[in-house]
């Protein structure tokens, strides 16, 4: 099994949010459990059990890197390494006032990728309390860029001035 992490690049960069990561990890677990419970099952049969999108991506990676998709050992090792790498992704928590569309999420993720690089996923929480803007929590740091805070600060300044 090739241990070059670059072969996982496409798959990993396609994951943008914690929801996607959770979904993909459960698909990996399904594949691994299938081999464990039913040793006679072929890989193609197993790939039918997961979503078409992920099954296609996995098949493409094997084809692109000239790996034998019918070799169960190679396939299991591939899944294990993939799962480890996914679990190491760092989470950026965003608290937004609205539920972002897929397009907005993609935009946000590509901004993160361009600014700080790959290996980051977004954990988006919707809270209408923030009114607008966002609260960013990353690596123990907490930054409040919300409209609510701006309004609170404005009120506080006015109260301090006795207006």
> Of 137, 155, 114, whose CA–CA distance to 18 is shortest?
137
The distance of closest approach from Cβ of residue 141 to other proteins in the complex, given in angstroms and rounded to an integer, is 6
Query: Should residue 142 be labelled a site residue for other proteins when binding is judged by CB under 8 A?
Result: yes
Among 66, 139, 159, 162, binds other proteins (CB under 8 A): 139
- Tell me the C-alpha distance between 14 and 57, whole Å: 10
The CA distances from residue 29 to 50, 111, 141, in Å, are: 10, 30, 32
The reply on whether position 144 binds other proteins by CB under 8 A is: yes
Distance CA 96, CA 99 (A): 7
Alpha helices of the chain — where are they, by DSSP H? 9-13, 18-37, 43-47, 52-64, 72-87, 102-116, 147-160
Residue 20 vs 144, nearer CB to other proteins: 144
**Alpha-helix residue ranges (DSSP H) falling in 48-98:** 52-64, 72-87
Nearest distance, CB of residue 133 and other proteins, angstroms: 15
Among 115, 140, 161, 163, binds other proteins (CB under 8 A): 140
Could you tell me how many residues of this chain bind other proteins (CB under 8 A)? 7
Judged by CB under 8 A, which stretch of 9-17, 43-51, 63-71, 132-140 contacts other proteins? 132-140
Minimum separation from the CB atom of position 19 to other proteins (A): 16
How many Å separate Cα 18 from the centre of its chain?
5
Q: Stretches 12-20, 28-36, 116-124, 140-148: which one binds other proteins (CB under 8 A)? A: 140-148
Q: List residues near other proteins by CB under 8 A.
A: 137, 139-144
């Amino acid at each position: 099994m090739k241990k070059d992490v670059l072969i996982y690049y496409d798959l990993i960069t396609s994951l943008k949010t914690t929801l996607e990561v959770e979904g993909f990890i459960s698909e990996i677990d399904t594949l691994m459990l299938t081999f464990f419970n039913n040793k006679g099952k072929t890989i193609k049969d197993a790939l039918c059990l997961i979503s078409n999108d992920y099954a296609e991506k996995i098949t493409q990676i094997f084809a692109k890197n000239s790996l034998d998709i019918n070799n169960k050992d190679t396939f299991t090792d591939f899944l294990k390494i993939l799962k480890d790498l996914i679990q190491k992704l760092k989470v950026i928590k965003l608290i937004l006032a609205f539920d972002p569309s897929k397009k907005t999420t993609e935009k946000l993720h590509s901004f993160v990728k361009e600014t700080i690089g790959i290996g980051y996923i977004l954990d988006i929480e919707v809270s209408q309390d923030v009114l607008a803007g966002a609260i960013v929590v990353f690596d123990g740091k907490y930054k409040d860029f919300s409209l609510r805070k701006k309004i609170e600060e404005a009120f506080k300044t006015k109260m301090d001035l006795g207006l």
